[in-house]
Chains A and B, each alone.
Chain A
Amino acid sequence: MKRIFTLLALAAFMAGSGMAQNAAPVSSLEIPVIVKATNSQYWQYVFAGAKAAAKDLGIKVQTLGAAAESDVAQQISILEDAVTKNPPAIVIAPTAFDPLAGPIEKATKAGIPVIVIDSSVNTNSYASFLSTDNEAAGRLAADRLASAIKAKTGSEAGQVAYLTALPNVGSLTARDKGFNEEMASKYPNIKIVDHRFGNNDPAKALSNASDILTKYPDLVGIFADNNMMGDGAGRAVQENQLQGKVSVVAFDTDDQEISFLKSGVIDALIVQDPYMMGYAGVWYAAAAHFGAHLPKNLDTGVSAVTKDNLDKQPAVGLLDASKRRLTPFLGQ
C-alpha cells in the first residue's frame, strides 16, 4: 500500500514540475473507466474509487461498462468507441483474456496509455496492470475453507466442491488454480469432488449447489469463485439448513453475501480491493498521460472477512466504499 502512494506522489511531482508532454490543462482531462459489467457491487466500487481519484486530481472520469460480464463483444465496442474519442488514457477491466488483446494493443499503438485492472489480458502492450493476485487469493480461500471445515467437523478432511462463474476468464481461472493447488499441497485429506459452471447466474449456482449437495451427502465445503456464485451457494446451504455442517467460502461481497456472513451461512468472504483498483487506476492513467513510467504490475491485495472482523477496519471500508479510509499517508 505504501509503495503505491510513493509512486503516486512521485508521478504527481513529475507532472507538476513540468515534465508534462501535453500542454492541456489537467482539469480538462476526461478518462474513460471501462468495467466488465455495471450490474454488480464490485464494479460499482471500482467506479467509486475512480470518481474519488478524479475528485482528488481535479479531472473527470467517464464510467462505462456492458450490462453483463459475459458480453465480450459489447465491451470491445465500448473500448473502440472510447479510443475514437482520443482520451488522455484508458482504464479497463478486460472481460476476457484473448478477445480484448487486439483492441488494447490498438489503443496503445494509437498513443493512448492503457491501465488494465482486475483481469489479465493476452498482451504486454499496456502501461500498467493493477490486480489482485488471484492465485494467492485462491490459496487464501482454500486455507479459510480448511479452517472453517476444521472448526465444524474437527479435522481438515472431507469432500468439497467449487463453483466457477464463467469459463476462460483470467481472474476466475487463477482463483480456481490457486484453490486447487493449495488443497492438493497442504490439505491431502480434503478431496475436491465436483466442479460446475454457473454462467454467472445465482439461480444456476443455486441449482448446481443443490444438486452437488444431493450427490454428495457428506460434503463439508463449497468454494464459490465470485459473488454471484456465492449468492447461489449460500442460498443452497440456507435452503437445506446445512450451515452447521457445510462450510462456504466465497469471493467478493454484496448485500446478500454479507447477510449470509452475518447469519453464519457463509464462513468467510475473500474480499478484493476494487475501490483501490479504480482509485489507483485513474491516478496511474493521469500519470501515464503526463509521461510517468509506471510499474508493469501492482498487487492491490486481498483480505479475508469473517463474522469476527466484519465491524472493524479495514473490513468496514472494504465492504462499504463510503466508509473507506485510505492510508494515513494521505491524511484521510
Chain B
Amino acid sequence: MTALRERFGLRIESLLQLFVFFLTALVWVGLAIFAPRFLTAHNITNILRQVSIVSVIAFGELFAIIIAGIDLSVGSLAALSGVVLAATVAAGAPLAFSILAGLAVGAAVGLVNGIGTFRLGIPAFIITLAGLEAYRGVALLVSGGLSIANLPPGFADFGSSVTLDVPNLFIVTLVVGLVADFVLRRTRTGRYLYAIGSSEEAARRAGISVGAVTILAYVVSGVLAGLGGELLVARLAVGSPTAAMGYELQAIAAAVVGGASLFGGRGSIFGTFIGALLFATIANGANLLGIDPFWEMVAEGVLIAFVVYIDNVQKKRYAGG
C-alpha cells in the first residue's frame, strides 16, 4: 500500500478506496459514452456545484465518524444556519457578521453534541437524533415557517458564478477539504482523532485528552454543517427552513463509501469527496439518461450496502491472519 501511495502520490488508504475511486471513474467513462452532453463544461460545472454542499457537510461528518461517533443533526443544522444567515442579512446586518452568526450556531450545537456525548455520556446517536428534530424546529421558528427570500443579489451571484472557470461553491469545498485533510493527516490532533476511534480506552491511557478531542470533532462537524447550509442559501438564493432534509444520511453515505467505518478509526477526506462525487454523478446520470428516479434510489441503496460488504470482506481477510 505504501508503495502504491508513493508511486501514485494519491491519498488512497486501502483497497476499498481504490475500488471506489475506479468505480467512480468507470461511471464517468460510461456516462461520457452513453449520456448525451455529460462531458461538457456546462454539465461538469453543474455536477461540481451539486456536490459542493454535501461534500462540505460530509467532511464535518467524517470527523464525528472517525472517533466512532455519529452526527445525525447536520442536515437540520445546515438549514438552521442558513436561516440564521438569511434572517440576519434581511435584518440589515453586514454580510461578514451574518456569515459568522450562522457558523457560530453550528459551533454552539457542536459544543452541545460534544459535551453531551462525552461529559454526560449520552450516546451520540441519541443526542444528535434529538438534534435532528429540535434544530429543524428552531429553524422553522426563526423563519416563521416560511422561506426568507429577497436576499441581496450578491448571494445569488456567489452561488451561480465561477472564478477561473471553477464554480465558487466548489472552490469553498476545495479549500475546506484541503484544510481538513491537513488536520487529519498531518497534525497531532488528527492522529488523536484516529486513535480515539480505534480504541478510546487505549487513547486515554496513552494520555490523550479524549474529552477535548471529542468535543473538537463535534464542533468541526457542527461548523461545517453550518457552512454547508450557508452555501445552500447561496445556491438557492433563499433561506429555507426545510432545506437540507436527509443530508445527514447523504453525508454519512459519502463518508462510508469513501472508506470510513462506523466503528471508527478509518476514513479520509479524499475518500469522502469521491463518495459524494459518486452519488452526485449517479443523480446527474439518472437525469441525463432519463432513468426512473425510483430506480436511482434503489441503486444508491444497493451501492452503499455493496461497498460496506466489500469493506467487511477486506477487513476479515487482513485481520489477524
The chain A residues found within 8 Å of chain B, CB to CB, are 38-41, 44, 67-68, 194, 196-197, 201-203, 206-208, 210-212, 214-215, 217, 231-232, 235, 238-239, 254-256, 259
Bound-complex Cα distance A60 to B93 (A) = 39
> Within 8 Å of chain A (Cβ to Cβ): is B100?
no
- CB pair B236–A206 under 8 Å, yes or no, is yes
When the two chains form the complex, which single residue of A40, A201, A215 contacts B37, counting CB atoms closer than 8 Å?
A: A215
- CB pair B245–A201 under 8 Å, yes or no, is yes
B232 / chain A contacts, CB cutoff of 8 Å: 203
- CB pair B149–A259 under 8 Å, yes or no, is yes
Known interface pairs A197-B293, A211-B46, A214-B40. Does A235 touch B237 (Cβ–Cβ under 8 Å)? yes
A202 / chain B contacts, CB cutoff of 8 Å: 236, 238, 240, 243
B36 / chain A contacts, CB cutoff of 8 Å: 215
A38 / chain B contacts, CB cutoff of 8 Å: 140, 145
Q: List 28 A-B contacts (CB under 8 A).
A: A38-B145, A40-B146, A41-B146, A44-B145, A44-B146, A67-B140, A67-B242, A194-B290, A202-B243, A203-B232, A203-B243, A207-B50, A208-B287, A210-B46, A210-B50, A211-B43, A211-B46, A211-B288, A214-B37, A214-B40, A214-B43, A215-B287, A232-B236, A238-B156, A239-B159, A255-B146, A255-B149, A259-B150
The chain B residues found within 8 Å of chain A, CB to CB, are 36-37, 40, 42-43, 46, 50, 136-137, 140, 145-150, 156, 159-160, 232, 235-238, 240-245, 283-284, 287-288, 290, 293
Bound-complex Cα distance A214 to B50 (A) = 14
Known interface pairs A211-B46, A212-B287, A215-B37. Does A68 touch B147 (Cβ–Cβ under 8 Å)? no
Bound-complex Cα distance A39 to B136 (A) = 11
Bound-complex Cα distance A40 to B147 (A) = 8
B283 / chain A contacts, CB cutoff of 8 Å: 207
A interface SS class: helix
Q: Give chain A nearest CB distance to B30 CB in angstroms.
A: 16
Q: Which residue of B lies closest to A193 (CB)?
A: B290
- CB pair B288–A256 under 8 Å, yes or no, is no
A40 / chain B contacts, CB cutoff of 8 Å: 145-146
Q: Which residue of A lies closest to B133 (CB)?
A: A67
Bound-complex Cα distance A254 to B293 (A) = 27
Bound-complex Cα distance A206 to B145 (A) = 21
A207 / chain B contacts, CB cutoff of 8 Å: 46, 50, 283-284, 287
A44 / chain B contacts, CB cutoff of 8 Å: 145-146
**Which of A196, A203, A210, A214: most chain B CB closer than 10 A?**
A214
Q: Give chain B nearest CB distance to A188 CB in angstroms.
A: 22
- CB pair B146–A254 under 8 Å, yes or no, is yes
- CB pair B236–A214 under 8 Å, yes or no, is no
Bound-complex Cα distance A44 to B143 (A) = 13
Q: Give chain B nearest CB distance to A207 CB in angstroms.
A: 5
Those 7 A-B pairs whose CB atoms lie nearest each other, nearest first: A211-B287, A255-B149, A256-B149, A239-B160, A214-B43, A210-B46, A39-B145
- CB pair B46–A214 under 8 Å, yes or no, is yes
Q: Give chain B nearest CB distance to A264 CB in angstroms.
A: 15
**Which of A201, A212, A238: most chain B CB closer than 10 A?**
A201
Bound-complex Cα distance A67 to B236 (A) = 20
- CB pair A217–B236 under 8 Å, yes or no, is no
- CB pair A196–B287 under 8 Å, yes or no, is yes
- CB pair B136–A67 under 8 Å, yes or no, is yes
Q: Give chain A nearest CB distance to B147 CB in angstroms.
A: 6
- CB pair B149–A254 under 8 Å, yes or no, is yes
- CB pair B235–A254 under 8 Å, yes or no, is no
Bound-complex Cα distance A202 to B232 (A) = 11
Known interface pairs A67-B140, A196-B293, A203-B243. Does A211 touch B160 (Cβ–Cβ under 8 Å)? no
Q: Which residue of A lies closest to B36 (CB)?
A: A215
- CB pair A206–B149 under 8 Å, yes or no, is no
- CB pair B245–A211 under 8 Å, yes or no, is no
Q: Which residue of B lies closest to A239 (CB)?
A: B160
Q: Give chain B nearest CB distance to A228 CB in angstroms.
A: 8
Bound-complex Cα distance A207 to B242 (A) = 17
Bound-complex Cα distance A212 to B37 (A) = 11
Bound-complex Cα distance A201 to B145 (A) = 15
A201 / chain B contacts, CB cutoff of 8 Å: 242-243, 245
Q: Give chain A nearest CB distance to B215 CB in angstroms.
A: 30
Given A44-B146, A231-B236, A235-B237, 4 further pairs, Cβ under 8 A:
A67-B137, A201-B243, A215-B288, A217-B37
- CB pair B238–A256 under 8 Å, yes or no, is yes
Bound-complex Cα distance A202 to B241 (A) = 12
Q: Give chain A nearest CB distance to B283 CB in angstroms.
A: 7
Bound-complex Cα distance A206 to B236 (A) = 8
A212 / chain B contacts, CB cutoff of 8 Å: 287
- CB pair A39–B243 under 8 Å, yes or no, is no
Bound-complex Cα distance A42 to B245 (A) = 20
- CB pair B235–A206 under 8 Å, yes or no, is yes
Q: Give chain B nearest CB distance to A143 CB in angstroms.
A: 27
Q: Give chain A nearest CB distance to B175 CB in angstroms.
A: 22
Q: Which residue of B lies closest to A197 (CB)?
A: B293
**Which of A44, A68, A256, A259: most chain B CB closer than 10 A?**
A256
Bound-complex Cα distance A201 to B79 (A) = 12
A235 / chain B contacts, CB cutoff of 8 Å: 156, 235-237
